[in-house]
Amino acid sequence: MAHFGMLRDYRFSNDVDDIRGASLYGIDDEKLGKIDDVIFDHSSGNIRYAVVDSGGWLSSKKFLVPADRIRVDAKHEDDFHVDMTKKQIEALPRYDEDSYKEDKGYNEPAWSDYDERYRKSLETTGDVLHREGSTHTITPDPSQMPATGEALPNEDELEPERVAAIFNDPTPNPNRARMRPSGIAAHAEDSAVAGQTVPQEIPTRLEEEALDRRPATGTTGRTLDQDSNQRLSAFEDHLRRNRVDITSSCRSCDVKKDRVA
């Protein structure tokens, strides 16, 4: 069973770029707080969560963000970004740091239960709204729903027969709206005059290979390699190299014999 812990007062050498103290921003450049600590696996040094100090806007004061969701922030140098809002964070299970201050705190069933509840909640926390105090999605009250068999407002305007005549005549006419299937058929009809087709362009093998080598881009236009969090990865590498020293006072795991370079 994995045993997790925090850095707490541990300090790295001066040449290590410590992420603790960096700001964390959310969606719409909303400042969520500052990274106060990390929760990591003592046996591997892998970081599981960043512990974020909200600065007062959250009742529990601190909250967790999975390390794999944290990215560099393109707008704020040396800071980080996560695709979450304050409202989404408030919907997550409350994090009580005092419950895990003992050496065995992150190894006991209480932590495993919290970790599992957090991950499940994270999967369902998004644009889905929930009733207060419930995990069920909001559904309209009966008074908000039309009676069974009742016609919708302006339902007669939605009948397809009213627009069918527009598409019956196949004669080319650039002034008439057209409906085209997606994919190859749409490409074949992509010409200046309705009804006319152009030869389908089949890429050569070299062109296909060039497309395969094209770097994927994220929402900011940066390549995924550039958008990966090199600073967090470098910090995690330093943590791994120093984990024996970091965990030397931990009485819950035996890593002293597992010396690392």
Q: What is the pLDDT of residues 149-181, one digit of tens each?
A: 555 556 555 555 555 555 555 566 666 555 554
Amino acid 97: pLDDT: 87
Q: Give mean pLDDT, residues 191-195.
A: 52
What pLDDT does residue 164 have? Answer: 56
As a whole-number percent, the residues of the chain with pLDDT over 90 amount to 43
- How many angstroms separate the CA atoms of 239 and 50, rounded? 13
> Which position has the token pair 């094209």?
214
Report angle CA 185, 190, 191 to the nearest 5 degrees: 140
User: Looking at per-residue confidence, does 169 or 49 come out higher?
Assistant: 49
CB within 8 Å of 254: residues ≥ 6 apart = none
Is residue 113 predicted with pLDDT exceeding 90?
A: yes
- Among 117-121, 192-196, 234-238, name the one with the lowest average pLDDT: 192-196
Q: Domain spanning 4-133+222-246: which CATH class is it, in words?
A: mainly beta
Of 62-76, 99-113, 199-213, the range with the lowest mean pLDDT is 199-213
Give yes or no for residue 30 having a pLDDT over 90. Answer: yes
What pLDDT score does 224 carry?
A: 34
Higher pLDDT, 118 or 208: 118
Q: Residue 225: what pLDDT? A: 38
Q: Are strands 31-41 and 23-25 parallel, antiparallel or unpaired?
A: antiparallel
pTM of the model as a whole: 0.61
> What's the rounded Cα separation, in Å, for the pair 197 and 12?
66
Mean pLDDT of the chain: 74
